[in-house]
Copies of this chain bind each other. A is one copy, B any other.
């Protein structure tokens, strides 16, 4: 039996950076918390809690000291409220998310109707929306939703950084039919596409596929969906405890990948556990 581990499994650039910033800040500040879970990995959030970095859901609930802004970013209002309260802001917003916020603000300032391609409820999207405010803003999940947009004169488009390129492309095609001028910033981070493509490739070669990552992580859930379309024997798991020996009965090849917010040590634990199960005593 053989394990195929995706090279692109685990932390993307922005998550790695945010986690590093958070761990460094945990020793630097006596009173520190993060506004919302720093990344969508309950295990990393737990480790940070052990270092004294609690999670606070609202600006008003922050007691004192420093506050970490997670990789998804915050809304412009939240940023102003943090500053107004005189808190020390440790900004771990992913630089790619920052770019999307900046482009949305610029397009709104230039008078475009800003169309954001993404999930309305996602904190990253809510942050981007807030920077385009003052202007007209529309959030659409896909081409079907874009088809319901009214006619507009000048349309500016940015995307949630984890969107698929095909989705952005389809929305752009629909919006082009609804306006005279279209200004698009492709703010999609390649890491998602690279990870999804590698997952597809591996899922097509194996008898069982494991996708490791938070059940609250949108990108991990999407990754598991993509793999399941190719290999129905796909398991989405958060921790090593969930690995079941029965998954590997009669199996030749095992694929493993992980979402953007899954730490390396969690992936290694799963790889080690699977290795023990399929080659007992070899470790």
Interface residues of A (CB under 8 A from B): 165, 168-169, 172-173, 176-177, 179-186
Q: Whose C-beta in chain B lies nearest to the C-beta of A157?
A: B182
Q: Is the CB of A173 within 8 A of B169?
A: yes
Give the contacting residue for A186; candidates B168, B169, B182; CB below 8 A. Answer: B182
Q: Is the CB of B168 within 8 A of A172?
A: no
Q: Is the CB of B176 within 8 A of A172?
A: yes
Specify how many copies of this chain sit in the oligomer. 2
Given the complex of chains A and B, what is the CA–CA distance between A191 and B186 in angstroms?
Answer: 32
For residue A171, give the distance in angstroms from its CB to the closest CB of chain B: 10
Given the complex of chains A and B, what is the CA–CA distance between A183 and B176 in angstroms?
Answer: 11
A interface, over-half SS:
mixed
Give the contacting residue for A182; candidates B165, B179, B184; CB below 8 A. Answer: B184
Which chain B residues border A179 with CB–CB below 8 Å?
186
Q: Is the CB of B185 within 8 A of A181?
A: yes
Which chain B residues border A173 with CB–CB below 8 Å?
169, 172-173
Given the complex of chains A and B, what is the CA–CA distance between A185 and B168 in angstroms?
Answer: 18
For residue A103, give the distance in angstroms from its CB to the closest CB of chain B: 9
Given the complex of chains A and B, what is the CA–CA distance between A169 and B172 in angstroms?
Answer: 9
Give the contacting residue for A180; candidates B165, B168, B182, B186; CB below 8 A. Answer: B186
Given the complex of chains A and B, what is the CA–CA distance between A181 and B183 in angstroms?
Answer: 7
Given the complex of chains A and B, what is the CA–CA distance between A168 and B176 in angstroms?
Answer: 9
For residue A148, give the distance in angstroms from its CB to the closest CB of chain B: 18
Which chain B residues border A181 with CB–CB below 8 Å?
183-186
For residue A95, give the distance in angstroms from its CB to the closest CB of chain B: 14
Q: Whose C-beta in chain B lies nearest to the C-beta of A178?
A: B186
Given the complex of chains A and B, what is the CA–CA distance between A211 and B190 in angstroms?
Answer: 50
Given the complex of chains A and B, what is the CA–CA distance between A144 and B280 in angstroms?
Answer: 55
For residue A186, give the distance in angstroms from its CB to the closest CB of chain B: 5
What 8 additional pairs, Cβ within 8 angstroms, besides A173-B173, A182-B182, A182-B184? A169-B176, A172-B172, A172-B176, A172-B182, A180-B185, A181-B183, A183-B183, A184-B184
Q: Whose C-beta in chain B lies nearest to the C-beta of A180?
A: B186
For residue A110, give the distance in angstroms from its CB to the closest CB of chain B: 11
